[in-house]
Amino acid sequence: MPDDRERLAGLFDDHLEVGLHHGAQLAVYRDGEEIFSRAGGTRGPDGDPVTESDRLVLFSCTKPLTAACVHHLAEAGELDYDDPIRAHWPDFADPDTGKAEVTIRHVLSHQGGFPVGEFDTRPDDWTDWDAVVAAMEAIEPQFEPGSTAAYHPMNYGWVLGEVVRRVGGQSIGAYLREHVTDPLGMADTFLGLPPEEPDDVVPLSAFEEFDRARDPERGLVGDNERTAQNFNREAVHRAEMPAASAVGTARDLARFYACFEQGGALDGTRVLAPETVEAATALQIHVEHDSTVGVERRYALGFGLGGTPTDSYGALAPPSTFGHGGLGSSISWADPETGLAMAYVTNGIRESYEQRVRANEIGDAVRRAFGPA
């Protein structure tokens, strides 16, 4: 009879065999040590096998990486979470506009008031940082900053990336490499693939057939097909899009979460102080209805938190679980109550409900295999 570890491996393989995605990686840490890593499937319908070292698009699993740069600057005393954005970027908002009171804390916790805008419809401009800055200076708030939370899919990253550039003196991708990924040995993860690195990112595919059968008017198949095509471009892989364009492996991403679960240090390397990690993962706001994603959400500073019926950290996840998902494809989290940290990254974009089901299945299987007896 298979044990829980074998059942986890079997579930990982089942997701591939039933066609939820072409390829995937899964990595798990416990108490700062890697205890499981698996890759399977192919790079596409007829592609080569996916290996543990292949890079995949991380989508919004990028957001905590960007947040880590902000936390590093805060710990160094270069900024404060309650600084208005305009204190570091004066042209972000005139003193008499609705954006004048937007703080770094607001943006980290999706309370900035400008979740979406016209710039979201211009993917060809996302690789032009000057266009990014101009768009964020021009965007107008949709609600009073700090009054509620609504997920900022892209604007979160644009604003925090520019803050890091202005305060830290480096682009967000360079700052991340110097202060987070390189120290942690995350050699396969980049926010902006450097020129010397080949563009060998695993291609994305859209999987929306089931959703179209249920609701043909929504057109999500076409939307996700366009997203896959856009994020398969080399220009996007090489761009620094701080909310969505990091590329990397599940092993690297699980390592990042293991560092946070261990209080900011891993294998003798300290990235952040324990008190900084505690601040980063503390509840900032709990909303019954996030108007962007349409469901209940609990937000920390750059992370989502467990404790809602619609998160994707597993039915067994305690509210202290912190993590983030990536558009219909990936999930990553740490659970300080069990010492577990994991990342499950795929190359298939699914409708949100289907993605939540597969992510929760994997999360619960990880806890059954490696959690407390």
Burial class (CB in 10 A: 0-12, 13-18, 19+), 288: exposed
pLDDT tens-digit readout, 83-130:
999 999 999 998 888 899 999 999 999 999 999 999 999 999 999 999
State the CB neighbour count (10 A cutoff) for residue 23.
25
- What's the helix, strand, coil split of the chain in %, to 5? 40, 15, 45
pLDDT band, very low/low/confident/very high, at 7 (cuts 50, 70, 90): very high
**DSSP alpha helices (H): ranges in the chain?**
4-17, 62-75, 85-88, 104-108, 129-138, 155-168, 172-176, 209-214, 220-231, 234-238, 250-261, 274-280, 352-370
Q: Strand, helix or coil at 278? A: helix
- How many Cα atoms are found within 13 Å in the side-chain-facing hemisphere of 86? 15
Contact 156, 125 (CB under 8 A): no
Q: Please give the average per-residue pLDDT across 336-355, as a whole number.
A: 94
The whole-number pLDDT of residue 24 equals 98
- Answer whether residue 214 shows pLDDT above 90: no
The whole-number pLDDT of residue 77 equals 98
Contact 224, 206 (CB under 8 A): yes
The whole-number pLDDT of residue 253 equals 98
pLDDT band, very low/low/confident/very high, at 373 (cuts 50, 70, 90): low
pLDDT tens-digit readout, 86-96:
999 999 998 88
205-207 vs 56-57, strand pairing mode: unpaired
Contact 258, 334 (CB under 8 A): yes
Q: Strand, helix or coil at 260? A: helix
Is the pTM higher than 0.85? yes
pLDDT tens-digit readout, 142-201:
999 999 999 999 999 999 999 999 999 999 999 999 999 999 999 999 999 999 999 999
State the CB neighbour count (10 A cutoff) for residue 212.
15
What residue segments make up the domains of the chain, in order of their start?
4-370
Percent of the chain topping pLDDT 70: 95
How many angstroms separate the CA atoms of 317 and 148, rounded?
25
Q: What are phi and psi of 46, to 5 degrees?
A: -130, 30
DSSP string, 60-92: GGHHHHHHHHHHHHHHTTS--TTSBHHHH-GGG
Q: Strand, helix or coil at 233? A: coil
DSSP string, 111-165: -SS----GGGG-GGGTT-HHHHHHHHHH---SS-TTS-----TTHHHHHHHHHHH
Best CATH choice for the domain 4-370 from the list 3.40.50.1260, 3.50.50.60, 3.40.710.10, 1.20.1630.10: 3.40.710.10
pLDDT tens-digit readout, 216-259:
333 334 488 889 999 999 999 999 999 999 999 999 999 999 99
For residue 306, give the nearest of 355, 10, 315 by alpha carbon: 315
Check residue 110 and give left, alpha or beta (phi > 0: left; psi -120 to 50: alpha).
left
The overall average pLDDT reported for the chain is: 94
Q: Please give the average per-residue pLDDT across 206-224, as a whole number.
A: 52
Token duo for residue 324: 């983030």
340-346 vs 330-335, strand pairing mode: antiparallel
The whole-number pLDDT of residue 150 equals 97
The whole-number pLDDT of residue 127 equals 96
State the CB neighbour count (10 A cutoff) for residue 94.
12
- Answer whether residue 215 shows pLDDT above 50: no
The whole-number pLDDT of residue 217 equals 36
- Answer whether residue 297 shows pLDDT above 80: yes
Q: How far apart are the first and last CA of the chain?
A: 18
- Answer whether residue 350 shows pLDDT above 80: yes
Q: Sign of the CA dihedral 138, 175, 322, 5?
A: positive
